[in-house]
Structure 1
């Protein structure tokens, strides 16, 4: 490009610095999961990193087109420098849109899900599914408070949280999670842990969430009752638990002692084991973890690590599975294009067998 060498070197240094965001995060807090910079700097790193990614993809596409043109006999193409500036502008704009979509307070998404053998007393039962809030410098107390206010305004019967609530230690995030104490639902707030809880002080966080009024379900269950009808709400630990010396996911332990005549609603942070849950008789599984794949194309890579389950509703061997795109997102890659965040209000419906 026809720009002075000094400017080229300056831009190259800036790109190198931005590309090492995870290194700076580790230096700031000891963990890539908790960048402890002012929010505006975290936003800048995510925007600049996204711009680098999109520019690289555009450059690869451009090179492929140029290579194809070179293979045509007698062709001679010259590329106006304006094309390269336009590519940079497009990459920067896409990254800005992606970051905005990632950090906004999520809209409410309404979903009806049929549940086999659902007692008639629970037909029309409403629950709010929250997951992957990743409360951090990127999602501070003001964001959390707005999410809580929007959630409480829905006036649901139950709130369930499938992990990755925080990014940071309890000492770092105590004030930012405090608004969660205000979550309200008629049958309470229940939570299963995600992988980030294990990376950032599992025992301390679980005790703190309990003190805030949440009911924790690490390989445990609760029985919800309504006018004689019963629904089992179970939760399991995360696949990352054994790496930190904690018990692995154990659905059998979670259901130990549960009544045999009630449908099972399972909270499992990661959706990859859905077929095992279906085989165990679970009627509905709620998961997160994938962030919906974040951007088109990347979602196919995310699918590889989650048994193909990335976003939305799936029918899995007779079981219903819903994978939430996430209420927030990991601050190390806060980017969403076509995969919006969500506060998911689920209405349970009686699922009539096909032979009836």
Structure 2
């Protein structure tokens, strides 16, 4: 007869090995990632057969080493306890720059080098130097273009959204969505005012802000956020918290938005009535709210729609797209979200997709629920947007009870 107690204990021990190993590896990723970001471009650009003069090769290497040391130090001083805006700008800019350089060092370092080899172009040194110049040229162009894209007033993205349960009286309701403004170390008060002017030109019935107003406290970023008080809507202006509010005194942002005339939808709803029909406009705190430890903050969908007529259509504001699983289970008609930035700097969107069910645009979830995910109005951290343009979104709600010609 076999004694199974030892077998069970051994299996249990083996079952813990993989998770423990994974946790140990994950613990070192913050240390490994910066090294890879800086070391790989250094190797591709300087040490893969270019035969640069030793002064150029080692001088360039020294620049990469300084970047590797300086970037995390600047980001720590800028985003840590000291909250030094100048340091944050330096660290964030270095992060964006090296991400683009890393990406194109990988792509061109492999694909272009292979194409040159197959095409019989030059010798190894010539091909290596062509790759170096191509990587630097492409990166410089993308960073310059990405900077302009990040700092401009977003273009308006307009789309019709059919909602089967929407009453005819609400057909044509204009909903403007802004999100992820991320006021921060770079003073964008003027940009904020121009965004609000663009929003006002759209003559919205409802204006929504789905969180991540800023990086920093309401007191610190008040001047940049104040233009939000000039936004106009014929029915309501509503707001929900994003995850970044919970890094910087979320209640202060809720209070400031209330002061500026916005309706904070903290697990509650308001009714939008037009033409004898009604739309429930609900909102929930961000999904990170409960873990923040801030009393009374959590994402509570049941509370948000409590007391609403279940036969009425519901528009839900939730900062993160992944909340749509709960929204679909509850039969929500339309969820508006942000958070993803559309990836912000290509190809970061592949990492975003690992965490979120949608990156940008309109998608269907379950039998009833539509999700619109905005690429965001501002930018976080690195002042660049590459192949992920910002947006102000105009959604025109459509009722099936109204003919297209009406």
CA deviation vs aligned residue, 1:242-287 (integer Å, no higher than 9, x gap): 1211432111111111122210000000011213212211111100
What is the rounded CA distance, in whole Å, between the counterparts of 2:91 and 2:145 in structure 1?
14
- Residue number in structure 2 paired with 1:338: 387
Cα distance change on mapping 1:227 and 1:45 into 2, 3 Å: same
What is the rounded CA distance, in whole Å, between the counterparts of 1:222 and 1:311 in structure 2?
26
What is the rounded CA distance, in whole Å, between the counterparts of 2:227 and 2:182 in structure 1?
14
CA deviation vs aligned residue, 1:52-111 (integer Å, no higher than 9, x gap): 223223332344359969999x99941323441332122122122122212211011111
Instruction: Give the RMSD, CA atoms, in angstroms.
Output: 2.8
Counterparts of 1:254-265 in structure 2, within 5 Å, are 254-265=304-315
Give, in angstroms, the shift of residue 223 of structure 1: 1.0
Give, in angstroms, the shift of residue 165 of structure 1: 0.8
How many residues align? The count is 344
Q: TM-score, normalised by structure 1?
A: 0.88
Q: 2:300 aligns with which of 250, 254, 257?
A: 250
8 Å contact kept, 2:360–2:372: yes
**Is 1:79 aligned to 2:108, yes or no?**
no
CA deviation vs aligned residue, 1:188-214 (integer Å, no higher than 9, x gap): 210011001111011111111111111
Cα distance change on mapping 1:352 and 1:228 into 2, 3 Å: closer
Give, in angstroms, the shift of residue 234 of structure 1: 0.4
Counterparts of 1:204-219 in structure 2, within 5 Å, are 204-219=252-267
Cα distance change on mapping 1:303 and 1:9 into 2, 3 Å: closer
8 Å contact kept, 2:360–2:373: yes
Counterparts of 1:295-314 in structure 2, within 5 Å, are 295-307=345-357, 309-314=358-363
**Is 1:118 aligned to 2:166, yes or no?**
yes
The gaps in structure 1 that reach 5 residues or longer are none
- Residue number in structure 2 paired with 1:50: 96
Q: TM-score, normalised by structure 2?
A: 0.77
The gaps in structure 2 that reach 5 residues or longer are 1-45, 47-51
Q: 1:146 aligns with which of 189, 194, 205?
A: 194
Point out the structure with the larger helix share: 2
Give, in angstroms, the shift of residue 176 of structure 1: 1.3
The structure whose Rg is larger is 2
SS in 2 for 1:154: coil
- Residue number in structure 2 paired with 1:319: 369
**Is 1:196 aligned to 2:196, yes or no?**
no
Give, in angstroms, the shift of residue 139 of structure 1: 5.1
Q: 1:59 aligns with which of 88, 102, 105?
A: 105
Counterparts of 1:274-285 in structure 2, within 5 Å, are 274-285=324-335
